Amino acid sequence: MKAIIVAAGIGSRLGDLTKDLPKPLIDVNGKSILERQIELFKKFGIDDIIIIRGPHKNKFNFEQVTYVDDVDTAKHDLLGSLMTAKKEMFDDIIISYGDIIFDENILSQLFNSTEDTSLAIDYNWEKNYNNKSNDLLNKVSVVTLENNFITNIGYYENFKTYENVVFGEFIGLMKLSKSSALNFIQKYNILQENHVGKFHDSPSIHFGIITDMINELLKDGIKFTSTKISGKWCEIDTPKDLELAKKLFII
């Protein structure tokens, strides 16, 4: 198994903190977000780690990892960034967003899933947004579920009218088997050549995000299961998120 960390994000909401520093390298109590992820992956025996980096690539100085450079960050969003590493995806993989911190319990739950495809889902997600703006809440990636299978995924703002539906938040951590990763790549290649117009929550396939691609695969009948996570995790997108992370992850 290998891990792919999508770490090409700029992190504009963090202001001066990310003026000359990639968001995944932000310090949280003496360790960067990326350093914490790498340490955890290696603890689980995942030594084949691919980091997709973008601007300020010279700031990345981790050893014994493979770097893939995303040189077109202005021309695509998260999905396109992940696809710069598609040559590395022909294996069982865990994909992680580069701006999240999670503890060992959460990685263990996903790592031990026996399903072909599984997303780490926080079922108790709403508490994380009690004091956040509606703009941030509306862009949370949530899922609907039926018998532990994901039936839909997308921005919360598009799910508000649903009633009697189980919601959970996709935390930016997923596991794909080798065959599922191949399906992902093949479908993306077809869409890149042929899709026109809006792509789920995004204006186009070229500016698509990973959850858009999951939704597209769900339409094709590909099954995605939910790994119900329990433990500490935090997405670092704003200065308040960083403050929270420093309280949650002291060591």
For residue range 31-89, list pLDDT tens digits in order.
Answer: 999 999 999 999 999 999 999 999 999 999 999 999 999 999 999 999 999 999 999 99
Per residue in 189-215, pLDDT tens? Answer: 999 999 999 999 999 999 999 999 999
- The mean of the pLDDT values for the chain is 92
Q: In which element (H, E) is residue 77 found?
A: none
Rounded mean pLDDT, 183-188: 96
Domains by residue range for the chain, with CATH: 2-248 (3.90.550.10)
Q: Does residue 164 carry a pLDDT above 60?
A: no
Rounded mean pLDDT, 138-166: 82
Rounded mean pLDDT, 172-179: 97
Residue 43 to residues 25, 46, 107, 109, Cα–Cα distance (Å): 20, 7, 10, 14
Q: What percent of the chain has pLDDT over 90?
A: 79
Question: H helices of the chain, where?
Answer: 33-43, 78-83, 104-111, 134-138, 178-194, 210-219, 239-248
Per residue in 11-30, pLDDT tens? Answer: 777 888 888 899 999 999 99
Taking the whole predicted model, whether its pTM rises above 0.85 is answered as: yes
Token pair 């899933």 in the structure block, residue: 113
Q: Which range scores top for mean pLDDT: 64-73, 138-147, 152-161?
A: 64-73
Token pair 């949650």 in the structure block, residue: 248
- Check if the beta carbon of residue 132 is closer than 8 Å to that of residue 125: no
